[in-house]
Amino acid sequence: QVHLQQSGPALVKPSQTLSLTCAISGDSVSSNGAPWNWIRQSPSRGLEWLGRTYHRSSKWYSDFAVSFKSRLTIDADTFKNQFSLRLHSVTPEDTAVYYCARGGNNWFAPWGQGILVTVSS
């Protein structure tokens, strides 16, 4: 059974970088073609897919939502079997609950427990 455990700070200052990690158990981050995603949720914007990374034919790929492409990085660490999100130049509008999730063909399961990240000085 796949389990995702998220970690990272709950408070980030404006203009800084929001960094979160998702540790995987029961699966491998380098499983061929399996997408590992970041999704966030806020009262004002609902559920927003941010991006994903996946390993296929010995290469790593990343896809990003258009709105975040310029300031989002998603990396995988095969030794620690985890993947991470870095969202640069954050503003208070980036305040949200951030989730990691394993992906399939237009579905997401399981999800991490979620971390509420507040952007404030």
Partner 1 sequence: QSVLTQPPSVSAAPGQRVTITCSGSSSNIEKNYVSWYQQLPGTAPKLLIFDDYQRPSGIPDRFSGSKSGTSATLAISGLQTTDEAYYYCGTRDDSLNGAVFGGGTTLTVL
Within 13 Å of residue 89, how many CA atoms lie on the same side as its CB?
A: 5
3-state secondary structure 87-105: ECCCCHHHCEEEEEEEECC
Q: How many residues bind partner 1 (CB under 8 A)?
A: 23
Q: Say whether the peptide bond before residue 14 is cis (omega within 30 degrees of 0).
A: no
Distance of closest approach, residue 39 Cβ to partner 1, in angstroms? 8
Q: What track of x and - describes contact with partner 1 for positions 46 through 85 (by CB under 8 A)?
A: xxxx-x-----------xxxx-------------------
Distance of closest approach, residue 13 Cβ to partner 1, in angstroms? 26
Q: Taking a C-beta distance cutoff of 8 angstroms, is the pair 51, 66 a contact?
A: no
How far is 4 from 113, CA to CA, in rounded Å?
7
Name the residue nearer to partner 1 (CB basis): 35 or 84. 35
How far is 45 from 59, CA to CA, in rounded Å?
33
- Binding flag, residue 33, partner 1 (CB under 8 A): no
Distance of closest approach, residue 45 Cβ to partner 1, in angstroms? 8
Distance of closest approach, residue 66 Cβ to partner 1, in angstroms? 6
* Chain residues in the site for partner 1 (CB under 8 A): 37, 39, 46-49, 51, 63-66, 99, 104-114
